[in-house]
């Protein structure tokens, strides 16, 4: 007689973000993972839920003057300025490699005008193998384009225009540097975003008081890392209360506990950012432990715990 206990099926890690289906909720954020080649010796890239390469623009950008990064207490200030070689070089040199990695490739784009965003989205819409397009309407380190992330009407119009001209799922990446994050989330949802990514970095600066000069060449930069996690959690929670559109949580996520906090707060998936610089294997470590954590909660899938935060006694 066989008295062995039945083996339960592992939890379902797959997530659905509008039209975008992912194998699991753990992605890596744009600007922190290069073009993935830099990480291939350290990470099994095919295990990731998705990869967001460095943001691309219509034309090459040199970026901001040095210093571009400054380490802070529990965080990192950056003012890269969207340094990139432009969409033509990206399509020719990086996309063929990226689309062969066996995971979802979501391309981050930025423009100074709605027309530039639409043109980029339209060009990527012609490329097979691209899983989605993330609209970077929230970078604090460049001039132009940021209004789309701070003005609800412009945000809605931009998302809608990109969706009309691009067949791929559209993600809108929002900034925390606004008075009402819920209003911006509603605007992105009304524009037809398949998912809302939040947050981008918080504005900050660093100073050398002896020289009485800023440390960043651009004076002000974007703060990321563990220091901004409470802000990001708050933004995800508030946005999740305002829209039914899936949310991707970003901001200070480094451990399994962080991931579960964002999922419970209302995120359907997460992106790892600054942690990739100091612990590039964080994503796979989290993926290894995620099934056990879900089982501990009695959940058979990721979706079962999304937005289950209890705020009343």
User: What residues are annotated to the active site?
Assistant: 139
DSSP classification of residue 198:
E
Beta carbons within 10 angstroms of residue 27's beta carbon: 28
SS3 content of the chain, % helix, strand, coil (to 5): 35, 20, 45
CA distance 12 to 21: 13
E strand map for 3-118:
15-17, 20-22, 26-28, 50-51, 69-72, 75-78, 104-109
For residue 300, report the phi and psi dihedrals to the nearest 5 degrees. Answer: -100, -5
C-alpha of 271 from chain center: 5
Name residue 134's beta-bridge partners.
108, 171
Judge whether 27 and 52 are in contact, CB under 8 Å: yes
Backbone angle region of 39, left / alpha / beta, with phi > 0 → left and psi within -120 to 50 → alpha: alpha
Whole-angstrom distance, CA of residue 116 vs CA of residue 95: 20
Report the distance separating Cα 146 and Cα 209, nearest Å.
Answer: 30
Residue 112 three-state SS? coil
Measure CA 281 to chain center: 17
CB count, 10 Å around CB of 23? 17
Q: Which two tokens stand for residue 93?
A: 């040199």
Helix (H, G, I), strand (E, B) or coil at 207: strand
Best CA proximity match to 139, nearest among 112, 162, 103: 112
């Amino acid at each position: 007689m066989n008295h062995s206990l039945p083996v339960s099926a592992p939890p379902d890690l797959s997530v659905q973000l509008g039209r975008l289906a992912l194998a699991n909720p753990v992605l890596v954020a744009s600007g922190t993972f290069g073009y993935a080649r830099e990480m291939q010796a350290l990470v099994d890239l095919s295990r990731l839920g998705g990869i967001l390469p460095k943001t691309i623009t219509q034309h090459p950008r040199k970026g901001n003057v040095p210093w571009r990064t400054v380490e802070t207490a529990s965080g990192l200030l950056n003012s890269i300025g969207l340094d990139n070689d432009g969409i033509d070089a990206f399509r020719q040199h990086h996309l063929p490699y990226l689309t062969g990695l066996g995971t979802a490739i979501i391309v981050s784009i930025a423009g100074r005008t709605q027309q530039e965003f639409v043109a980029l989205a339209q060009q990527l819409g012609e490329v097979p193998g691209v899983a989605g397009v993330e609209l970077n309407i929230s970078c604090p380190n460049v001039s132009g384009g940021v209004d789309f992330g701070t003005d609800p009407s412009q945000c809605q119009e931009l998302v809608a225009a990109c969706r009309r001209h691009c067949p791929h799922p559209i993600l809108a990446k929002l900034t925390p540097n606004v008075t009402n994050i819920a209003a911006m989330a509603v605007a992105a949802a009304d524009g037809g975003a398949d998912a809302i990514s939040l947050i981008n970095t918080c504005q900050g600066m660093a100073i050398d008081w002896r020289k009485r000069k800023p440390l960043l060449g651009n004076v002000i930069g974007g703060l990321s890392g563990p220091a901004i996690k409470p802000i990001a959690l708050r933004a995800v929670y508030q946005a999740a209360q305002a829209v039914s559109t899936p949310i991707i949580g970003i901001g200070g996520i480094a451990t399994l506990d962080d991931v579960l906090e964002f999922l419970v707060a209302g995120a359907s998936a997460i992106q790892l950012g600054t942690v990739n610089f100091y612990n590039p294997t964080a994503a796979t470590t989290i993926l290894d432990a995620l099934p056990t954590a879900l089982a501990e909660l009695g959940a058979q899938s990721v979706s079962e715990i999304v937005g289950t935060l209890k705020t009343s006694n």
